[in-house]
Structure 1
Amino acid sequence: MHRGHAPREVTVSWTIQDVSRTTGVTSRTLRHYDAIGLLPASFVGPGGIRHYDDDALVRLQRILLLKDLGLGLAAIGEVVDGDGDVVAHLRTHLELLEVERAALDRRIGAVRRTIEAREGEEPMTSDMFDGFDHTQYQDEVSERWGSETYAASDRWWRGLTPAEQAAFKARVAQLSADWIAAARDGEAPDGERARELSARHIAWLTATPGTPAAAGDPEQTRAYVLGLAEMYVADPRFARNYAADDVPDGAAFVRDALTAHVASGALGG
């Protein structure tokens, strides 16, 4: 509720100082969020002190999560103002955090392997770079689809600003999280939800410069999607992107859904 409105009844409220101490978000930032309508105070008490209720704290948590994913304040506002079940949104955030944790675990494992190799005077291996940036797949992409494919994709990626790279990673992480959630819910690979995810997945591939799908050739896109679908299962590095503790075979669901989508003739041609 915006400033100047009558306070609504709340069971618990936190002052702006309480929120700042607990979350680490400065009072100045909270006041700015209030001023731009991103996080209005629940009510303003005596002396002009802003107060926040539980709903406002949940909204703040969502704002901080989205900010960590690299989204700007305007984009964050659109997301948190959207319709839908707050708990469902929080579950999506949880999926995203699990994806990020998996990536971080891979980096930790890579560094540990490097330490072990150096201490044991062993040579470096490619898996010591697991979980780092996209260039780890340069040789594989070049071998499968040609060196120009990788070069074009790399030029596009390096031409993005840090904010654009972060936003792209956030979209990919969201897609991975949605795949995991669908697999967890036992969705059918040829069901409506799987078809929607497959369409999003293919739209992501076709919109990424340098990929074989970006050329717009339906036959080439079909072959590329089917090849990737199999790679998601065969290569543990890819499989981890679609797995969680309780969804170890998520990559198989992605493969089956993409395969069913292509077989349905959805790509035309």
Structure 2
Amino acid sequence: MGREWTIQQVARAAGTTSRTLRHYGEIGLLPASRTGTNGYRYYDEGSLRRLQRILLLRELGLGLAAIGDVLAARVREEDALAAHLALLEDEAARIARLVRSVRRTLAGPGTGEGFTVEEMFDGFDASRYEEEVVERWGRAAHEDGQRAWRELGEAGRRAHLAEHEAVGAGLAAAAARGDAVEDAAVQELVRRHHAWVSVFWTPDAAAYRALTQGYVDDERFRATYEAFGPGTAGYLRRAADVFAQRALT
């Protein structure tokens, strides 16, 4: 038997999660080379090479179905990349709209010019994360979130964003002061955060813990909270654990 690695070892080395690898296996994208009598999945060198290709194609922006076609040779890699080039060009145009949107926002206060909510959010595309949301939380969670965002309206969207800024700033200040996460004032901030999330989807104790752990583990979301102040993501996670224990169980 050649060299092989456990699912935890592979996930850690590849910078992904065991959950993702199991999902890849369930859809036939990355079968384990064998499953032990203990139920653990093991991967050999061939599996690692296949995972490397999957992650490369994911980095290039191909969806899982398209990657499956490439790996099964139902679609030539050159054709898949050509299709992806068109997607990249669309993404470049979207980024350009984002740049214009931010410039309008920055210019507005100084010039007295107003802007519509459509201009403010031009270029933002929540559907980019559809596959990830569906994988983690289910199709209903994604559709409910999309519907809730549309139904908020212009004033509601502004208020929602402002509430997140206020909660984030409050948590960062509490973390900087060294306030205990059990403090009533901190727990009130966490309650507001849970309510902010619940506009789109109401997480129970386990889901809220998993969500806030994601703020620490996922560099995209960690950067969002660390922008309020160093350590804010981890502080929120610890405070959310207390809140989940007290209020959600």
TM-score between both structures, scaled by the size of structure 1: 0.44
- Rg comparison, structure with higher value: 1
TM-score between both structures, scaled by the size of structure 2: 0.48
